[in-house]
Amino acid sequence: MFGSYEWNKKLVIRTVASWALALLVFFPILFMLVTSFKTELQAIAVPSLWVFEPTLENYTEVQDRSDYLHFAWNSIITSVLSTILGLLIAVPAAYSFAFAPTKRSKDIMMWMLSTKMMPAVGALIPIYVICQKLGLLDSVFALTIIFTMINLPIMVWMLYSNFKDIPREILEAARMDGATLWDEFRQVLLPLSMGGIASTGLLCLVLSWNEAFWVLNLTSANAGTLASLVASYSSPEGLFWAKLSAVSVLAIGPIVVFGWFSQKQLVQGLTFGAVK
């Protein structure tokens, strides 16, 4: 009896602590969501108002003033295309690293990963100049390519650790059974690594969607994604908290919903090989 009471007490403390921590982490987003339904005047009220009559005027104004759908469309196009392109490159690369490694494979993979350790701003000038010379500033095409490039190291590494878990003999058995490289990929490797490929794709999609640095530096009205839309509301007319909140909610909304539904896959993807 006493033991179970003790256990219950622990459980209650743990549950309350978890909820408190979760709420703390979630609070800024909640605050933003609430603010997006206030008028600009209510938004800057100190102390913050928690009881007010909600309005949708910020949302309609955002669409009227800056064509939300145009930016959202750019976000979708760049993240989906860069994910597809990234997978097309990363899957064969990871396949060769995992199943036909050479003496230098590990070094190449480390080198690929090391590019992620360099601050992006270090590569800004050369990339900006290249885009400028090729007439690719403010283009969806350039953004897609750049998203692909910055996500590739992580994609290759994720797929590599996923493929590594597949016994090599299974692919060899397929080869002995008469499979061509394509058969081997489509009929054996793909079904066995579908989970890993899906999580890699999901992660790449999320990372591309959230990317702001390159978007802000290489695009403006034409190819800008939701990240640039959000940024455009913080200047130059001064801060309009309610509208900024509304546009932010609109920017993160789709990816939050998407992430919610695919969280199991995402977590699995990030912990491959970590737990056996």
Partner 1 sequence: MGFLDLEAVDKYYGKLHAIKGIDLSIQQGEFIVFVGPSGCGKSTLLRMIAGLERINGGTLTLDGNDITHAAPAKRDLAMVFQTYALYPHMTVAENMSFSLRLAKVDKAIIDEKVKTAADKLDLTQYLDRTPKALSGGQRQRVAIGRAIVRQPKVFLFDEPLSNLDAALRGQTRVEIARLHRELGATTIYVTHDQIEAMTLADRVVVLRDGIIEQVGTPLELYDHPANRFVAQFIGMPQMNLIPTSHVPAAPQGSVELGVRTEHMAICAMGDARIKGSVEMVESLGNETLIHVRPEFAGEHDLPLIIRQYERTDLQMGDEAGVRWDDQHVHFFDADGKTLTNTVQGVAA
Interface positions with partner 1 (CB under 8 A): 167, 169-170, 172-180, 183, 187-188, 191-192
Question: Least CB distance from residue 274 to partner 1, whole Å?
Answer: 21
Residue nearer to partner 1 on the CB measure, 151 or 193: 193
Distance between CA atoms of 182 and 180, rounded to whole angstroms?
5
Question: Least CB distance from residue 192 to partner 1, whole Å?
Answer: 6
Residue nearer to partner 1 on the CB measure, 192 or 216: 192
Residue nearer to partner 1 on the CB measure, 189 or 204: 189
Question: Least CB distance from residue 166 to partner 1, whole Å?
Answer: 9
Residue nearer to partner 1 on the CB measure, 109 or 188: 188
Distance between CA atoms of 194 and 180, rounded to whole angstroms?
20
Distance between CA atoms of 257 and 265, rounded to whole angstroms?
14
Question: Least CB distance from residue 188 to partner 1, whole Å?
Answer: 6
Query: Helix H segments across the chain?
Result: 2-35, 40-43, 57-66, 68-99, 105-114, 124-133, 140-164, 168-176, 181-183, 190-210, 213-218, 226-232, 241-261, 263-270
Instruction: With CA atoms as reference, report the closest residue to 62 among 184, 238, 229.
Output: 229
Question: Least CB distance from residue 103 to partner 1, whole Å?
Answer: 8
Residue nearer to partner 1 on the CB measure, 70 or 164: 164
Distance between CA atoms of 179 and 187, rounded to whole angstroms?
9
